[in-house]
Amino acid sequence: MGSAWAESALNRPKLFTEFQKSSDPQVLTGTYATMGEGATLVRAFWCILLDPDWELSRENQAIGRIHRCGQRHATTSYKLRCKDSFDEQVIAHQNAGKDLNEHAVGLPVGEIGSDPEELLAVLNQFAEQFGLDTSSSRAVGR
Amino acid sequence: MYGTESGPNWLGYDHATPARLRALSRTVIIISNYQIPKSIGSKGLSTMVKFDSNSDVHVVTRDYLALMARRGFSIRENVDYVLAKWKISPGGRKKNLLKIRVLHVPFARVFMDEGHNVRRANSESLGWLKYIRSPVWIVSGSSGWMPPKKWSRWVKVWEQESWATDNDMRCYTSIAFSRIQKAFEEAAGLFDPATGIPSPTCEIYSDGYDTDQLNARTEQRHLGEGLRKWSNFLQQVMIRRTHCDLIWGEPLLELPEGEMKVICVRFCDTEEKVYRNYQEAVRAAISDACRGSQHQVLGNTQTRQALMINMYRRCRIASSIPALCCIPSFKDGNWTRQDVEGCRTPETRCNSPYKAHINNIIRLSPKLLWLHDFVFNHLRSYSEASNEKLLIFSFSPTVLHCIDLVRLLLAALYLSCTLIIFSRDTYSAWICGAFRWVQLGQSPH
């Protein structure tokens, strides 16, 4: 078991390399700040988030440590939530920003097909993001 | 760089062209808020930039900026990439001087990676970036990042994922994604809210003299132009990095399936009682702090804010490990993050204020019990599952420190057991007893 949170920033890359290359450590613990970004840890198949972060993006980043290029196995991430506790308030804060996020971030490239109408729909979505009114355009397009 | 031998790269020039002749020499600075990510760090760049004897491309990091801080230092003209940490030196005039010198460099583009770290419109990093004359691109690989509308003029986001190999990912940096986004934006910029967008398949019956039809035809041509440009760019960039994958209709590269499960655990009666008592105490303390009734005691506003943040943090930690609420050093707030982080080595861990409470910590924590079951069932034996590894995240070092302490206690016992499933009832008897036994039973959750 390795503790990335307890290592200095200088020693952390060495620990990550060790985790990737050797069989020990088998479990790596770390905070979202120390291990959630910039590390490739695709030797792990599981990821457990013990508590929610205020920012959903940080959780996504943490999950992205194992579900990224180089990963050859199916991965499973677990988010632990405790009912009737402060966790619920953090989740509520996350959900408040979720809708805005879905509106703002564009679709991944893989979801864009060859269908012109689909492409137009994507472009429409993008135009809306930039505050352009595309309601009339849809009518003309049809 | 990205260019192939037969044609220009995505930056628009041939690799063979000397840097001093390129319009884009010393063009890119990559600024990261905390540290240079590996994806675009030295290893990533070494795959991007072809280092050979004839190359004029240099990668300069922190030393480069340190040189810039010296009087009379001029920017080397043959530098294409400058990797820099934004927070290079701690505080003071030197730091400002360094930043000001960076701001005056006529970079053609400035990229800020890990952009999801910027969350506030009035953050320091964003404030400095606004003074940079060059176009600034903020890139984030996180889909959960929400740029405020006021930034949308110059903030570009693209989701980084779906690469089959490490090499693909490194070559395909966030810079490339920014470029995709720019082409996308150019295409989207052709939308005219007044006239709308004619469908590319729409037939226009006109003799060419009707004004409306001419306008519609113009719009159609612009749209087609934008789409074609975007499509060409995608093909230019992407096909180069894949062998047989298609762009349109088919996923470019596929990652193995990633599943995400939300596990809800509950407090038992004892845990809930401990937690509720603590929660009430925290609420009362926060109310006092808000009313300013402790103003004389707590000092200035900043101190009160720090106190409230501390209380919120402890509340979050307590939701993971409610047993900590019973420990005076935690309950009274006589602990700091530094105290916990100070317990880094096995020797100093012995001095941890929580060590004497390990039994309670795991017995009173539904999350730790679940984690214990998970670890024991999935990583039961090193020999059987040497390739199966696990990451554990938490926002707080305190929680992880408790996990470490519990692990130290249980590590020796794991070796002699074949299968143990804990429940709240069995754990305390098991952990306190001098005997070791095996129980097959129900999972606690």
Per-domain residue ranges of chain B:
19-241, 269-432
Q: Tell me if B116 and A57 make a contact (CB, 8 A cut-off).
A: yes
| Helix (H) / strand (E) containing A30 | strand A27-31
* Among B135, B146, B181, residue whose Cα is nearest residue B160: B181
Helix (H) or strand (E) holding A119: helix A116-129
Position B118 scores a pLDDT of 58
Interface test with B, best of A85, A136, A140 (most B CBs within 10 A): A85
State the pLDDT confidence band at A71, using cuts at 50, 70 and 90: confident
What's the gap in Å between the CA of B189 and the closest CA on chain A? 7
Residue B444: pLDDT over 80: no
Cross-chain residue pair B197–A120, CB shorter than 8 Å: yes
Q: What is the mean pLDDT of the segment spanning B87-115? A: 54
Is the model more confident about B205 or about A3?
Answer: A3
Secondary structure letter of residue A84 according to DSSP: T
ipTM of the complex: 0.72
Is it the case that residue B104 has pLDDT exceeding 70?
Answer: no
How confident is residue B348, by pLDDT bands cut at 50, 70 and 90?
low
Q: Which residues of chain A does B147 touch, with a Cβ-Cβ cutoff of 8 Å?
A: 104
Q: Which of A16-20, A75-79, B114-118, B226-230 has the highest mean pLDDT?
A: A75-79
B177-203 average pLDDT score = 45
Interface of B with A in 117-176 (CB under 8 A): 119, 140-147, 149, 152, 157-159, 161-166, 168-169
Helix, strand or coil, per DSSP, at residue A14 = helix
Tell me the average pLDDT of chain A. Answer: 72
pLDDT band for position A48 (cuts 50, 70, 90) = very high
Q: Return the residue matching tokens 């632990």.
A: A80
pLDDT band at B335 (very low <50, low <70, confident <90, very high): low
Q: Does B233 touch chain A (CB under 8 A)?
A: no
For residues B309, B312, B316, B319, the Cα torsion angle rounded to the nearest 10 degrees is: 160
Contact status, residue B442 vs residue B423, Cβ threshold 8 Å:
yes
Per-residue confidence (pLDDT) for residue B281, from 0 to 100: 82
Cis ω for the linkage preceding A25 (within 30 of 0): yes
Asked whether the beta carbons of A40 and A13 are under 8 A apart, the reply is no
Task: From chain A, pick out residues whose CB is under 8 angstroms from the CB of B407.
Answer: 1
User: Rounded to whole angstroms, how far apart are CA atoms B30 and B114?
Assistant: 10
Q: What percentage of chain B carries pLDDT values higher than 90?
A: 0
Binding-face residues of B in 302-321 toward A, CB within 8 A: 312, 315-316, 318-320
- In the sheet that B136-138 helps form, which strands lie side by side, from edge to edge? B58-60, B79-85, B28-32, B109-113, B136-138
> Is pLDDT at B204 greater than 80 in this prediction?
no
pLDDT for the residue B389: 85
Partner A contacted by B235 (CB < 8 A): no
pLDDT in tens, B272-309: 888 888 888 877 777 776 666 555 555 566 666 667 77
- Alpha helix positions (H), B79-155: 92-103, 124-129
The helix/strand count (H/E) of chain A reads as 6, 4
Report which of residues B370 and B69 the model is more confident about. Answer: B370
pLDDT at B264 over 50: yes
Residue written as token pair 């679940």: B370
Range with the poorest average pLDDT among A22-31, A38-47, B140-149, B349-358: B140-149
Architecture of domain A2-82: 3-Layer(aba) Sandwich (3.40)
pLDDT band at A55 (very low <50, low <70, confident <90, very high): confident
| Contact residues for A25 (Cβ-Cβ < 8 A; gap 6+) | A1, A2, A15, A18, A19, B389
For residue B173, the SS3 value is coil
What pLDDT was estimated at residue B300?
63
Q: What is the mean pLDDT of chain B?
A: 55
Q: A18 pLDDT exceeds 60?
A: yes
Residues B405, B355 contacting (CB under 8 angstroms): yes
Highest average pLDDT, of A25-34, B220-229, B240-249, B421-430, comes from A25-34
Phi/psi for B266 (5° steps) reads -125, 155
Using CB atoms, pick whichever of A3, A59, A108 lies closest to residue B162: A108
d(CA B323, CA B353): 13
**Whole-prediction pTM:** 0.52
Q: Could you tell me which chain B residue has the CA closest to the CA of A128? A: B188
Q: Indicate the DSSP class of residue B164.
A: S
Chain B residues touching residue A139 (CB < 8 angstroms): 196
Q: What is the mean pLDDT of residues A68-81?
A: 85
| pLDDT attached to residue A78 | 93
Instruction: Kindly determine whether residue B267 and residue A65, on different chains, have CB atoms separated by under 8 Å.
Output: no
Contacts of B39 in chain A (CB under 8 A): 38, 40
pLDDT tens profile B53-80: 333 333 444 444 444 444 444 444 444 4
Closest Cβ–Cβ partner in A46, A82, A134 for B366: A82
Which residues does chain A have within 8 Å of residue B140's beta carbon, measured at their own beta carbons?
A: 57
* Exposure b/e, A88-97, CB count within 10 A at least 16 = b: eebeeebeeb
> Count of H helices and E strands in chain B?
17, 7
Instruction: Tell me which DSSP letter residue A107 carries.
Output: P
- Our CA-based measurement puts residue B288 at a distance from the nearest CA of chain A, in whole angstroms, of 20
Residue of A nearest to B407 (CA): A1
Nearest CA in chain B to A119: B227
Residues near A64 by beta carbon (within 8 Å), at least 6 away in sequence:
B141, B142, B161
Cβ-defined contact of B143 to A60 (cutoff 8 Å): yes
Give the closest-approach CA distance of B428 to chain A in angstroms: 21
Closest CA to B236 of B170, B163, B167, B183: B183
Q: Is the pLDDT of residue B199 over 50?
A: no
For residue B229, what pLDDT is reported? 57
Q: Which residue has the higher pLDDT, A7 or B94?
A: A7
Rounded Cα–Cα distance for residues B244 and B252 (Å): 9
Mean pLDDT over residues B31-52, rounded? 41
pLDDT at B371 over 50: yes
Collect all residues of chain A within an 8 Å Cβ-Cβ radius of residue B165: 69-70
Give the tens place of pLDDT for each residue, A115-131: 445 545 555 555 555 45
- Give the integer Cα–Cα distance in Å for B198 and A139: 9
Is B397's CB within 8 Å of A70's CB?
A: no
What percent of chain B shows pLDDT beyond 70?
A: 22
Burial of B30 (0-12, 13-18, 19+ CB in 10 A): buried
Q: Report CB contact under 8 Å: A1, B264.
A: no
**By the 8 A CB rule, do A38 and B39 touch?**
yes
- For residue B77 the two structure tokens come to 């003209």
Q: Please give the C-alpha separations between residue B315 and each of A10, B276, B323, B356, B392, in angstroms, as whole numbers.
A: 31, 10, 12, 21, 20
How far is the alpha carbon of B436 from chain A, nearest alpha carbon, in Å?
A: 23
What pLDDT was estimated at residue B121? Answer: 54
pLDDT at residue A80, as a whole number: 92
Q: With an 8 Å Cβ cutoff, are B119 and A55 in contact?
A: yes
User: Which amino acid is located at B367 in the chain?
Assistant: K
